[in-house]
Amino acid sequence: MDRLLEILREIDDTVDYEKETALIDDHILDSFGIITLIAEIEDAFDIEVEAAEMTPENFNSAQAMWRMIQRLQES
């Protein structure tokens, strides 16, 4: 989780990721932020994020992203 927050802060350090729950819906993370983010988390957690995962629900909060990462690591 800390590693994820670190990655997120690297993309934009003005956001409070532990509280924010509408990163996508409020356009805090834009499409390009997401591209960078995916590249980073794929590297960091050795997972593959596929198109099927690209939903607002998976990226709206750091918590949700963490859940997705764990799920992908398991399978």
Partner 1 sequence: MAIYMNVYLLLFLPLTLLVYGVAPREKRWLVLLCASWFMYATLSRWLLLLLIATEAWTWGMGLWLDRLRQQCEAQVGELKQSGISGAELRTARTECRQRFRTRRLRVLLLGILVLLGILFYVQYYNFAAQNLNSLLSRLSLKLPVVKVLFPMGISFYTLEAVGYLADIYWERLEADRHFGRLALFLSFFPQIMEGPIARYQDTADQLFSGEPLRMDSLNEGFLRILVGLFKKMVISDRLSYLVNPMFAEYQKYHGSLVVLMAVAYTVQLYCEFSGSIDIVIGSGRLFGIELPENFRQPFSAQSPAEFWRRWHMSLGTWFKNYVFYPVTTSSFVKNLNKTLRKKYKKHGKYISMAATSAAALLPVWLATGIWHGAGWQYVFYGLYYFVILLAGVLLESFKAWRNQRLHIPENAVWLRVLRTLKTWVIVFIGELFFNAKSLLAGFHMFFSIFEDFHISDIWLHLPPKITRGEIMVIIAGSILVWIAGFMKENGKDIRKGVLEAGFPVRWAAYYVLIFTILLFGAYGAGYQAVDLIYAGF
Q: Which residues bind partner 1 (CB under 8 A)?
A: 27, 30-32, 34-36, 38-39, 42-43, 49-55
| Closer to partner 1 by Cβ: residue 10 or 18 | 10
CB atoms under 10 Å from CB of 8, counted, come to: 22
- Of residues 34 and 64, the one with the C-beta less far from partner 1: 34
Give me the amino acid identity at 8.
Answer: L
**What is the smallest separation between the CB atom of 32 and partner 1, expressed in angstroms?**
6
CA-closest candidate to residue 18, choices 63, 68, 52, 56: 63
Select 36 or 63, whichever has its Cβ closest to partner 1.
36
d(CA 51, CA 58): 12
